Amino acid sequence: MKTPPALVAAFVLGLAVPSPLRATDYHVGPGQPLAEPGQVPWETLAAGDTVFIHWRATPYAAKWVLCRQGTAGAPITIRGVRGPGGERPVITGQNATTRSVLNYWNRNRGVLKIGGASTPADTMPQHLVVESLDLRSARPPFTFTAPGGAQESYVANAAALHVEKVRHLVVRDCALGDSGNGLFISPDSQDILIERCFIAGNGNAGSIYEHNAYTAAIGIVYQFNHFGPLRAGCNGNNLKDRSAGLVVRSNWIEGGNRQLDLVDAEDSAAISSHPSYRATFVYGNVLIEPAGDGNRQIIHYGGDSGDTSIYRKGTLYLHHNTIVSTRTDRNTLLRLSTNDETCDARNNIIYTTLAGNNLSMIDDTGTLRLQGNWLRSGWIVSFNSGHAGTVVDAGGNLAGTAPGFLDLAAQDFHLTEASPCRNAGVALAAAAAAHQPTLEYLRHQRSLTRSTAETTADLGAHEFQAYAVWRAQQFGAGAEALPTAEPLADPDGDGATNLVEFALDSAPLSAASLPSPRAALVTLGDGAHGAIAFTRRASPHGLAYTVLTSPDLATWTPGWTLTDSGVAAGATLIDGGSGLECLVRSPAPVTGRLFFRLQIDLQ
């Protein structure tokens, strides 16, 4: 979610954009034309078709295959319609029934399967969107009813969403849980976007082979997802991937045997020979290693098949991540599988609650290049005294005992105003220049424009944001995760969002505190000038205050902007400072009616 401008105005313009025509809409649920997902003609869906599955109090016990083709302009979409409390409709594999006319192999591998069928006729599925569904419970000992009526059991590596093959797939705002793998994507897949999903609670007890996500594709992006811990007693990784062209950006990844296990394409020569196989980009993420978790390594990059000829043997670009460990024993940031693997790490915060000598940078082999990172003082290269790898200090690294988080206990990893990580960033490697973070993770499963209020980047997943500091002061511990503390919420019901309350230096939980902007006339030698008066915050505020004028409430002209960098030309400012009234007057005398509007944007 990109936070839109907050407007202090009595008149707001809107623009309605017509949606593209769709071939057919299918509605499933209470009071809808179709009662169950099994009544949808999955075998004949065509480009532009949309299946709406409406929330109901009891889960839909259904499973099916999607093996059809949309187009870039008219994808086939399966969309959950949320309930009154925002609940996603639940599709459970436990005791699920399969539509009788469908015929597809590997039906014991998932609740929703994409690709690989006899009925409908097998094809390469393409241009598909799956969004806002809660897919769950594909694992032993659960069973389901096959198309012919027989009872069958799920296998251990079954997935909530099993992709056998696809071109151009978007999985958005879904929950994938209580399965062997939450998400499984096979190698004959290309151009995948996984965004704003909650993937947690997967795996099989005592097994290291099933994961929250296990994927292999050419071109796959993970962004704004919340990866939570696996099921209790399960030893798989959080995100395990064997892809080419992998980008993992602005996610929250907590727990797992490893948070990231980025290994070789053991089953696909097409992936391992692809030009994008040798460069992997991981940035803007929050990676959390909890106490008592599995492997002490947070990230593994390279391979695990044993055939080192197909290991990644390239560069992991690791930048602007916040990496936090609360382990009560030793921790290793990175395992590079061989000396042919390299990690270029810049602008990260790497923090452990233990003394730094409990944190090693590498396991054994490979080259780690550190530049412009904040690291816990006392870190060591490796716990292996005979290690063959190298850690290169390329300069600009900081060390200390606390990076300046707002609230470590509440997992609010925004920076305080006094944090040493502010304005400490260095330039990214040339190969990573196209992966400069412009958005950041917003708890949970959303995004926010990364602040550009300061010219030098901060370290970690979050750019300093004065609003975050204010939010913690006003709403207390854990405020980052409170819906009432969001920028566009209005908890005191006074008609002003939290962002406006922040900008005008008022209290968000007291409706009586809001100092409303007011109109004024300023008489000078050349006549009467129109003006607007308002209260503003002192720098740093990370805001853009823009005054717009209009003669008719229809056409608005931006006339003056104040940011932390100063004032843009266009009008005259009489600035009282934070908590005092500022006056912005028009540069020319008023000859008719003149209306003012104050627009407030997070920078």
Segment 354-383, tens digit of pLDDT: 999 999 999 999 999 999 999 999 999 999
Last residue of some domain: 449, 476, 496? 449
| Same domain, yes or no: 586 and 441 | no
Any residues with CB less than 8 A from the CB of 388 and at least 6 apart, and which?
339, 364, 365
- What is the extent of the structural domain holding 544? 518-602
The tokens 């949808």 sit on which residue?
40
The tokens 């811990």 sit on which residue?
229
DSSP state of 109: G
Specify the amino acid at residue 20: P
Flag whether 475 is in a domain. no
Flag whether 199 is in a domain. yes
- Could you report the per-residue pLDDT of 531-563, keeping only the tens digit for each? 888 888 888 888 888 888 888 999 988 877 878
Last residue of some domain: 449, 478, 493? 449
Find the CATH number of the domain harbouring 568: 2.60.40
| Same domain, yes or no: 526 and 443 | no
| Same domain, yes or no: 440 and 528 | no
| Same domain, yes or no: 339 and 202 | yes
Flag whether 464 is in a domain. no
Question: Does residue 125 have a cis peptide bond before it, meaning omega lies within 30 degrees of 0?
Answer: no
Question: How far is residue 324's CA from residue 551's CA, in Å, rounded to a whole number?
Answer: 54
Please check the confidence at residue 7 and state whether its pLDDT lies above 50. no
Q: Please state the rounded mean pLDDT for residues 8-14.
A: 29
Confidence of residue 318 (pLDDT cuts 50, 70, 90): very high
Flag whether 558 is in a domain. yes
Flag whether 44 is in a domain. yes
Last residue of some domain: 428, 449, 470? 449
| Same domain, yes or no: 301 and 406 | yes
Please check the confidence at residue 273 and state whether its pLDDT lies above 60. yes
- Could you report the per-residue pLDDT of 472-525, keeping only the tens digit for each? 999 988 888 888 998 889 999 988 899 888 988 889 999 888 777 888 888 888
Residue 35's pLDDT is what?
Answer: 98
Residue 14's pLDDT is what?
Answer: 30
Residue 574's pLDDT is what?
Answer: 62
- Could you report the per-residue pLDDT of 440-473, keeping only the tens digit for each? 999 899 998 898 878 899 999 999 988 889 899 9
Flag whether 553 is in a domain. yes
| Same domain, yes or no: 129 and 253 | yes
Any residues with CB less than 8 A from the CB of 382 and at least 6 apart, and which?
332, 360, 361, 362, 363, 364, 389
| Same domain, yes or no: 161 and 263 | yes
CB 365 within 8 A of CB 387: yes
CB 303 within 8 A of CB 271: no
Phi, psi of 446 (to 5 degrees): -135, 180
Flag whether 466 is in a domain. no
Q: How many domains does the chain have?
A: 2
| Same domain, yes or no: 334 and 437 | yes
DSSP state of 276: G
Question: How far is residue 342's CA from residue 306's CA, in Å, rounded to a whole number?
Answer: 18
Find the CATH number of the domain harbouring 76: 2.160.20
Please check the confidence at residue 194 and state whether its pLDDT lies above 70. yes
Cα radius of gyration (the chain): 27
Residue 16's pLDDT is what?
Answer: 38
| Same domain, yes or no: 215 and 344 | yes
Flag whether 29 is in a domain. yes
| Same domain, yes or no: 444 and 547 | no
| Same domain, yes or no: 429 and 523 | no
The tokens 């290169």 sit on which residue?
392
| Same domain, yes or no: 374 and 240 | yes
Confidence of residue 578 (pLDDT cuts 50, 70, 90): low
